[in-house]
Amino acid sequence: MKKFSIAVIVFVSVFALSFALFASSEKQEVEVIGISKIVSHPALDAAEQGIQDELADLGYEFEYDLQNANGEVSTAASIANKFKSENVKIAVGIATPTAQALANALDEIIVVYTLVTDPVDAGLVDSFDRGGKNITGVSDMTPVKDQIAFLNRIKPIKRLGHVYTSSEANAVRLAEMAREACAELGIEFIEATVTNSAEVKQATQTIVKRVDGLYVSTDNTVVSALSALTDVAMANNVPVMSADPSSAEKFEVLAAWGFDYYKMGRATGRMIAEIIEGKSPEDIPTKFMTDPSDIDLLINLDVAKKLGLSFPPDIIKSASKIVENGKLKTK
């Protein structure tokens, strides 16, 4: 009887140990995707969530190392080195500075960029038509001229103000495009630069009395301080046109026309799945969000009323998001 009991105990112990080792082995085999974003704001957060949701819906089970550089390029570089030491399966850079940091640090790990305005200008790839040896991704290049023309239709603009980050490659590129668009539209372009989000309010104050409107691009540093910019603008009765509807929902922006960044995250997730299934990044061109369903138009009737402006019926009809009486309505 005692021998039987001992045998049972030994069997149970061996089984338990084997199960523990198996479970430990399974845990070790869970692959990690590292995601690095330059700052936290609604658009970037939505893209980050979209990536995870898309991969989950496709049946993949990953652990995610979610990192936020808080607007610091040096922190973005540290995150890239962290991903390298951890040997993540894929490193995702949300926005240009974090994507550049990953591309500079990782040569053996695949990098996928997203919310990058001009990946060629940023030095991430040589061509929109092909990826690099270990890098490809999704662009959020916006129709800058059309956005400015949209504002000009609601309120004729003689002088357009633009605050942008001088150290952010995508912001500089978009400023160039805004400058060119204004020249074509016969609008004087008045600019102010910042190096961090704390400078946005003061930069806006330096130009707000000299302009008829303000244009906000998909500049992550400026968007993260959008409330400071809109506070100054509204105090001076100056309308704001933004390229980021996600971040404009809670602030006094007259209109915002741009991408649904959650959908952009989902598109990035699908690209990651292609790579996981064996497709080489070199064979995947930069993806541009060109489907009409990818675009959102937000108009704020409350802001328009305060500024003594009105939207034509066709714009109200085409808007996918409308703010009225302090409430957001989505069509």
Average pLDDT of span 207-224? 96
Residue 134 lies in a domain: yes
Residue 67 lies in a domain: yes
Q: Does the pLDDT value for residue 293 go beyond 90?
A: no
Residue 25 lies in a domain: no
Q: Are residues 121 and 150 in the same domain?
A: no
What are the C-alpha distances in Å from 267 to residues 68, 97, 134, 184?
Answer: 21, 20, 18, 33
Residue 107 lies in a domain: yes
| Per-residue pLDDT band at 72 (split at 50, 70, 90) | very high
| Per-residue pLDDT band at 29 (split at 50, 70, 90) | low
Average pLDDT of span 149-177? 95
Q: What is the CATH number of the domain that holds 303?
A: 3.40.50.2300
Beta strand residue intervals within 158-222, DSSP E: 159-165, 188-194, 213-216
> What is the rounded CA–CA span in Å between residue 116 and residue 138?
7
Q: Are residues 183 and 273 in the same domain?
A: no
Q: Are residues 117 and 181 in the same domain?
A: no
Residue 253 lies in a domain: yes
Q: Are residues 314 and 288 in the same domain?
A: no
Residue 300 lies in a domain: yes
Q: What is the reported pTM?
A: 0.77
Q: Are residues 170 and 194 in the same domain?
A: yes
Residue 3 lies in a domain: no
Q: Are residues 247 and 194 in the same domain?
A: yes
Q: Are residues 131 and 72 in the same domain?
A: yes
Q: Quote the domain boundaries for residue 149.
A: 144-258+295-330
Q: Are residues 206 and 320 in the same domain?
A: yes
How many structural domains compose the chain? 2
Q: Are residues 281 and 325 in the same domain?
A: no
Beta strand residue intervals within the chain, DSSP E: 32-37, 63-68, 90-94, 110-116, 135-139, 159-165, 188-194, 213-216, 240-242, 255-259, 287-288, 295-300, 321-324, 327-330
Residue 2 lies in a domain: no
Average pLDDT of span 25-49? 84
| pLDDT at residue 241 in the model | 98
* Cβ–Cβ < 8 Å for 107, 116: no
